[in-house]
């Protein structure tokens, strides 16, 4: 006979004590909540114990014989009322929204569904197909954090599995896991590039949608969350979630931060005909946004079936508690919020002063980490680039698009390109933010890889099983004359040069640079620009593709080194004419300051600019020549020396050299030149 008592209302979830385990769950409209205990390798149900209803919709129970490792779940009984959004069904085992660990696999079956009334068609028990919540006592993270300033940050967006799945330098059992990411060979690779932070695609426990599994596919990216607290167990070598902490600690020891991509906009429970897995069976109308006319309909601002109701205090608390847990216990340094507009939207629309933003801004833990928004979703008023409050950073797709268009050869792009290179002050300065609030990128997990951007004019997503109807149709891409793979050396050379051109633009722009993993390996997805379900060689990085004539490891490394030496990219504010230290100057091909006529010349495809530090007496001259014809330009007078020193070019046969007055540009090329005092005040040579 299990000995139990009333229990405590705080904290939610399970908490381990010397004499047993406390369980607390929020289910305000339930008539009864039952704690179900399981044991053994096949998780046989050991007991069902009614919980105690407490003030404020909480249910508690203290089980004296329970210990760490105990497996459990909840069953909630109550009304089934479609019009009111109530789906209570005691036949459905529910995952604890606050559990920190799970055990067992999720299996799709009709037993999970709850959109029919309880009766003949909805009495099947789903426990056999559900993972079980596991009592786990986490230990706070104790490693030293790099605390890299935004001005020094270079982000590498990668997938836990895809990054190392084929890396033979790593033991086979560690490839594609958290531990694989902290192996010496991978860390050395990141350091060679100059990376200071990895941004991991979702690492919170997720499942694949049934429409994918029926086609033999999987949700590879992971944007289908099952638990906001549990690391994805498939990324653990031994099923031990502390491996995530080990990964973070090892990366931190090498001065690499860990940012995780989080999905607080929807869950794997999907829409009205989705499965009942956790929150839906406990407090459906509180956790999810719904309409009621004449029956409840899930608001779908995500395109995934449901939308988290961040307006509800208990949902807001869940999200904040989850974020704090990943910082304090898992050791992460920041978050990239998927479809972040949803977290600032109430019934009246997006609000930069939403309670979610206020809760973050006053939290002593979360104010110390990096916060990055994907500032759009598919809901009303969903595009909110530039509207997030300080200190948020935002993925800048306007930067991505204009750089792609410029190097594709589109006319009339110079004014827009200059804004983005300057840090997008038109987007961020209005609310006292600076250029470092812009996350600049050329490609991400979503869309073409950089290699495919110059190899495909059209998406090729047939392998996704959606008749090539998924994914964006406008990618501002081009194929250099041949669609897809080719052995033509001229086309291969041209594609590599154009990728380097885009990378020169990225690293010579104000803002925080980010690249997608595989950019440096010339990774191709064979034209698939929506490889979310391709858990195979399409998405996995091909480490055998390391070849100096094709990969971009050395160009990226060189560009990051140049960038890191220039103070102009560390300046946190936008530069205007009255700035006493920094200057931004734009020139035409005659070496003169750009006129209005120059800016509005739609045929002009050459952008020349100087970024100068007047105190350090150093400046960088960047030349971006997207025209495919050779052009000789006059260089502006070097401000701090007798001539400009060319230190980098996408030109294949480029050699470092000095250019006093003019430069012959080859077609579609990018150049970086420096001017600085030959000696510092202490007499040492200037780098």
Does the residue 144 lie in any domain?
no
B/e letters for 384-420, b = 16+ CB within 10 Å, e = fewer, are bbbbbbeebbbbbbbbbbbbbbbbbeeeebbebbbbb
* Same-domain check for residues 198 and 58: no
Least confident window among 64-68, 128-132, 524-528, 658-662: 658-662
- Average pLDDT estimate for 188-213: 98
* Same-domain check for residues 43 and 82: yes
Q: Specify the number of domains making up the chain.
A: 3
CB 412 within 8 A of CB 602: yes
- Average pLDDT estimate for 445-450: 98
With the CA atoms of 83, 85, 91 and 97 taken in that order, what torsion angle do they form, in degrees rounded to the nearest 10? 180
- Confidence at 686, pLDDT banded by 50, 70, 90: very low
Give the helix ranges, DSSP H, for 607-657: none
Rounded CA separation 320/369 (Å): 13
The pLDDT of residue 94 is above 80: yes
Q: How far is CA 481 from CA 42, 117, 284, 454, 456, in A?
A: 58, 59, 53, 10, 9
Instruction: Verify whether residue 338 is a known catalytic residue.
Output: yes
- Average pLDDT estimate for 450-462: 98
Does the residue 304 lie in any domain?
no
Selected catalytic residue, list 374, 520, 613, 651: 374
% of the chain at pLDDT higher than 70 = 98
Predicted confidence at residue 685, as pLDDT, reads 38
Rounded CA separation 128/535 (Å): 26
Does the residue 515 lie in any domain?
yes
* Same-domain check for residues 580 and 467: no
Selected catalytic residue, list 129, 257, 338, 446: 338
* Same-domain check for residues 539 and 625: no
Does the residue 359 lie in any domain?
yes
* Same-domain check for residues 445 and 326: yes
pTM (predicted TM-score): 0.96
- Average pLDDT estimate for 84-99: 94
Does the residue 683 lie in any domain?
no
- Average pLDDT estimate for 508-513: 98
For 316-351, write each residue's pLDDT tens digit: 999 999 999 999 999 999 999 999 999 999 988 999
CB count within 10 Å of CB 92 equals 28
The pLDDT of residue 122 is above 60: yes
Does the residue 684 lie in any domain?
no
For 20-56, write each residue's pLDDT tens digit: 999 999 999 999 999 999 998 778 899 999 999 999 9
Rounded CA separation 276/288 (Å): 13
- Average pLDDT estimate for 577-584: 94
Task: Evaluate the CA torsion angle 218, 220, 221, 223 in order and state its sign.
Answer: positive
Does the residue 303 lie in any domain?
no
What's the chain's average pLDDT? 95
Give the structural domain span for 39.
4-134
Predicted confidence at residue 111, as pLDDT, reads 92
* DSSP H or E stretch at residue 239: none
Q: Which of 530, 564, 598 is the last residue of a domain?
A: 564
The CATH number for 413's domain is: 3.20.20.80
Does the residue 305 lie in any domain?
no
The pLDDT of residue 655 is above 90: no
Please list the residues that pair with 290 across neighbouring strands. 298
């Amino acid at each position: 006979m299990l000995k139990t008592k009333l229990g405590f209302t705080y904290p939610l979830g399970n908490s381990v004590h010397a004499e047993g385990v406390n369980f607390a769950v929020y289910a305000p409209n339930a008539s009864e909540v039952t704690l179900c205990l399981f044991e053994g390798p096949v998780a046989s149900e050991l007991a069902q114990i009614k919980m105690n209803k407490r003030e404020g919709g909480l249910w508690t129970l203290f089980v004296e014989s329970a210990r760490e490792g105990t497996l459990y779940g909840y069953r909630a009984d109550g009304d089934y009322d479609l019009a009111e959004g109530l789906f209570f069904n005691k036949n459905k085992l529910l995952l604890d929204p606050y559990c920190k660990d799970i055990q067992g696999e999720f299996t799709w079956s009709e037993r999970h569904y709850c959109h029919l009334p309880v009766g003949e068609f909805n009495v099947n028990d789903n426990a056999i197909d559900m993972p079980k919540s596991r009592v786990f006592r986490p230990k706070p993270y104790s490693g030293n954090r790099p605390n890299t300033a935004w001005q020094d940050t270079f982000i590498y967006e990668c997938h836990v599995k895809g990054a190392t799945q084929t890396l033979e330098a790593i033991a086979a059992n560690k490839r594609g896991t958290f531990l694989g990411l902290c192996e010496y060979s991978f860390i050395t690779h990141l350091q060679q590039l100059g990376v200071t932070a990895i941004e991991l695609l979702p690492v919170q426990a997720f499942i694949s949608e049934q429409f994918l599994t029926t086609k033999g596919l999987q949700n590879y990216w992971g944007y289908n969350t099952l638990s906001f607290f549990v690391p994805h167990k498939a990324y653990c070598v031994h099923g031990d979630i502390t491996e995530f902490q080990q990964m973070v600690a090892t990366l931190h020891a090498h001065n690499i931060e860990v940012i995780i991509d989080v999905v607080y906009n929807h869950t794997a429970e999907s829409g009205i005909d989705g499965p009942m897995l956790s929150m839906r069976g406990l407090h459906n109308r509180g956790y999810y946004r719904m309409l009621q006319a004449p029956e409840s309909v899930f608001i779908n601002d995500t395109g995934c079936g449901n939308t988290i109701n961040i307006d509800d205090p208990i949902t807001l608390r869940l999200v904040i508690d989850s974020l704090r847990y990943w910082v304090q216990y898992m050791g992460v340094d920041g978050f990239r919020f998927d479809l972040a507009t949803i977290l600032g939207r109430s019934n009246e629309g997006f609000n930069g002063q939403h309670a979610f933003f206020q809760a973050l801004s006053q939290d002593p833990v979360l104010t110390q980490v990096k916060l990055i928004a994907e500032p759009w979703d598919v809901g009303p008023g969903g595009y909110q680039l530039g509207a997030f409050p300080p200190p948020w950073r935002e993925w800048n797709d306007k930067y991505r698009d204009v750089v792609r268009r410029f190097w594709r050869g589109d006319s009339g792009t110079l004014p827009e390109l200059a804004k983005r290179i300057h840090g997008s002050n038109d987007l961020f300065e209005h609310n006292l933010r600076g250029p470092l609030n812009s996350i600049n990128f050329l490609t991400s997990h979503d869309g073409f890889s950089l290699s495919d951007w110059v190899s495909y004019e059209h998406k090729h997503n047939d392998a996704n099983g959606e008749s090539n109807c998924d994914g964006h149709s406008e990618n501002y891409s081009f194929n250099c004359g041949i669609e897809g793979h080719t052995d033509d050396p001229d086309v291969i050379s041209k594609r590599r040069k154009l990728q380097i051109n885009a990378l020169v633009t990225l690293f010579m722009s104000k803002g925080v640079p980010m690249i997608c993993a595989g950019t440096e390996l010339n990774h191709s997805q064979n034209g698939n620009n929506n490889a979310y379900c391709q858990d195979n060689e399409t998405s996995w990085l091909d480490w055998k593709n390391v070849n100096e004539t094709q990969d971009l490891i050395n160009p990226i490394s060189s560009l990051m080194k140049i960038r890191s030496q220039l103070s102009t990219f560390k300046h946190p504010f936008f530069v205007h004419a009255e700035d006493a230290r920094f200057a931004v100057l734009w020139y035409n091909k005659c070496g003169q300051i750009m006129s209005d006529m120059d800016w509005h010349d739609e045929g002009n495809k050459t952008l020349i600019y100087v970024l100068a530090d007047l105190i350090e007496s150093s400046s960088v001259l960047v030349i971006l020549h997207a025209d495919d014809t050779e052009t000789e330009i006059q260089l502006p007078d070097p401000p701090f020396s007798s001539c400009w020193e060319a230190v980098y070019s996408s030109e294949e046969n480029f050699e470092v050299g000095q250019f006093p007055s003019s430069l012959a540009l080859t077609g579609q090329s990018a150049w970086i030149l420096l001017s600085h005092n030959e000696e510092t005040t202490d007499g040492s040579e200037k780098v």
